[in-house]
Amino acid sequence: KAGVTQTPRYLIKTRGQQVTLSCSPISGHRSVSWYQQTPGQGLQFLFEYFSETQRNKGNFPGRFSGRQFSNSRSEMNVSTLELGDSALYLCASTTGGRDTQYFGPGTRLTVL
Amino acid sequence: AQSVTQLDSHVSVSEGTPVLLRCNYSSSYSPSLFWYVQHPNKGLQLLLKYTSAATLVKGINGFEAEFKKSETSFHLTKPSAHMSDAAEYFCVVTAFYNQGGKLIFGQGTELSVKP
C-alpha cells in the first residue's frame, strides 16, 4: 500500500500571503489529521477531518482552515501568513477508530 | 485530560550500550500509547503501540516498551544502541478513548549515539 503523501514538500512564502497544503491518505483511511511542528512548541494538533467533516480542532487561530474531499484527500489553508507560521506541517491518516496514525513526510513552510 | 511527559530532552549513549527513554502519562481512561521516531528532515515513523493487549510491547528495530499502570509510565528501551538510532523520539497518547484522530505528543527526546 502506498503511504501518506504530502505536496508540496517545500514552500517559501512572504508575510501576508496565503498557502494551501495537500495530503493524500493511505487508501481506505477516512480520517486525516494535521499537525504543526516547530522547535519552540513541538508537535501541536491542528484539526482532524473524518468523512469530509471536521471532527476535532486544536487551539489555532481561524487563519488555519482545512477541508476533506470525498476521496478522503485533505487540504489545509493558512491565510495572511505570519513569520511564526514557519514550520513543518505533518498530516496523518487512520481508519477513524483507535487504529494507528500513519504520517506523511511533511511540508516545510518558510515565511519570509 | 490526556497528557504525556518525556522526562529527558536529550539522552546520549555509546554504540552497543542500552537505551532508556522515559515517558510518564496522565489519562482518565485506559490509554492508547505510542512511540514514534523522527529522523532529521523526515516524517514520523511508528516504533510501537500499546492498546491494552499486553503490557510489554515489542516494536521495530529492537525497541520495546513496558506499560506500567501503577507508575503511569511507558518507557522505551533497547538493549544495544546502533548509530542509526540517533533521532528524536516522541511518546504519544490518544486524546479520546474511541478515536485515534487526535494525538497528544510529548516534547520529544533527542537520542545521540557516540561511536
Question: What are the angstrom distances between the C-alpha of B114 and each of B26, B60, B83, B86?
Answer: 33, 21, 7, 9
Contact yes or no for A46/A37 (Cβ under 8 A)? no
Going by C-alpha positions, the residue among B110, B23, B97 that lies closest to residue B67 is B23
A1 touches chain B (CB under 8 A): no
Q: Over chain B, what HEC string results?
A: CCEEEECCCEEEEECCCCEEECEEEECCCCCCEEEEEECCCCCEEEEEEECCCCCEEECHHHCEEEEECCCCEEEEEECCCCHHHCEEEEEEEECCCCCCCCEEECCCEEEEEEC
Phi/psi of residue A45, nearest 5 degrees: -75, 130
- Cell, residue B95: 486524546
Instruction: Give yes or no for a contact between A20 and A73, defined as CB atoms under 8 angstroms apart.
Output: no
Contacts of B96 in chain A (CB under 8 A): 56
Q: What is the mean pLDDT of residues A17-34?
A: 96
Distance of alpha carbon B9 from alpha carbon B106, whole angstroms: 10
The arithmetic mean of pLDDT across residues B43-55, rounded, is 88
Note the pLDDT of residue B99: 67
Q: With an 8 Å Cβ cutoff, are B34 and A100 in contact?
A: yes
Residue B27's pLDDT band (cuts 50, 70, 90): confident
CB contact under 8 A, B99 and A101: no
Most confidently predicted of A42-56, B10-24, B38-52: B10-24
Chain B residues closer than 8 Å to A23 by CB:
none
Whole-angstrom distance, CA of residue A24 vs CA of residue B92: 23
Mind listing the pLDDT tens digit for each residue in B65-85? 999 989 999 999 999 999 999
* Residue B53: per-residue pLDDT: 73
Tell me, yes or no, if B49 comes closer than 8 A to chain A by beta carbon.
yes
Interface residue A12 vs chain B (CB under 8 A): no
Q: Measuring CA to CA, which residue among B25, B7, B22, B8 is closest to residue B110?
A: B8
Name the 3-class secondary structure at A6: strand
DSSP 8-state class, residue A53: E
Shortest Cα distance from A55 to chain B (angstroms)? Answer: 9
What one-letter code names the amino acid at B14?
S
How is residue B93 written as a grid cell? 497518547
